[in-house]
Amino acid sequence: MADEDEIKEQKEQKDTKAEKGDKQSLISRLLPWVIIVVVAAFSAGSGFGLGRIFAGSREPETVESGSESDESAQTNEADDDSEEDPDNVWYYDLEPVVANLNEPSVTRYVSASLTLQMSSELEQQKGTELLDKNKPILINWLTVFLSGLCLEDIRGDKNLKSIQVKICEAFNDQLFRDSKPQIKQVLIKGFPVQ
């Protein structure tokens, strides 16, 4: 009987070793996959977070570079238009316009704050009255226009300059169809994208 007990004990030890070996082999098989999943999840999360951080810090640079471009464009335009007295131009501030961008996968919006540089040929009082009267039309056009843009359309100084020109042409079309355009330039005060 001692032999049987000894055999049972040896068998139990073998079974225990086999179970430990199975557990160790299961752990050794799953551990690399668990590490890969954890690293991938961390990388994706940190990549998304860093992308949001860097995307947020890059947008003001775009606006600033657009503003610097605006200043150089103002200087160039003043040089080109020698009959226009730069001291006599006047400015009209539009109220900020907020519009959703045309981004199918993400909700993004732009808040555009614009100032119109008006020709000195248009008397300021009459011009202000005309702009006040037509402000809803201008705001509507601007909202629709901005809603048709995607993030790539507004990124970079070349795109911002193009947007300024398009807005200026459209506003002149709306207000001065049968006469000389009186809006000299559209200036961007703010153009944050969220």
Would you state the pLDDT for residue 68? 45
Asked if pLDDT for residue 72 goes beyond 50, the answer is no
Q: Is the pLDDT of residue 92 over 70?
A: yes
Identify the pLDDT of residue 162.
Answer: 94
Question: What pLDDT shows up at residue 98?
Answer: 94
Identify the pLDDT of residue 183.
Answer: 93
pLDDT at 125: 93
Contact, 184 vs 129, CB < 8 A?
no
Q: How far is CA 19 from CA 11, 31, 33, 133, 165, in A?
A: 12, 18, 22, 86, 76
Q: What integer pLDDT is reported at residue 21 of this predicted model? A: 62
Percentage above 70 pLDDT, the chain: 63
How many residues does this entry show for the chain?
194
Q: State how far the Cα of 66 lies from the Cα of 82, in Å rounded to an integer.
A: 24
Per cent of the chain over pLDDT 90 is 44
pLDDT(64) > 60:
no
Whole-number Å distance between alpha carbons of 44 and 51: 10
What is the predicted pLDDT for the residue at 85?
59
At CA 91, angle to CA 94 and CA 74, rounded to 5?
A: 110
DSSP letter for each residue of 49-77: HHHHHHHHHHHHHHHHHHHHHHHHHHHHH
Across the range 88-106, mean pLDDT stands at: 91
As a whole number, mean pLDDT of residues 57-83 equals 43
* Cα–Cα separations (whole angstroms), residue 192 to 36, 43, 57, 61, 187: 38, 28, 11, 10, 14
Domain ranges for the chain, please list them: 50-190
Mean pLDDT of 51-59: 45
More confident residue, 162 or 63: 162
Is pLDDT of 106 > 50?
yes
Q: What is the mean pLDDT of residues 69-78?
A: 45
Confidence of residue 36 (pLDDT cuts 50, 70, 90): confident
Could you give the angle at which helices 157-175 and 2-80 cross, rounded to 10 degrees?
A: 50
Dist. CA 125–CA 121, nearest whole Å: 12
Whose CA is closest to 191, among 58, 57, 63? Answer: 63
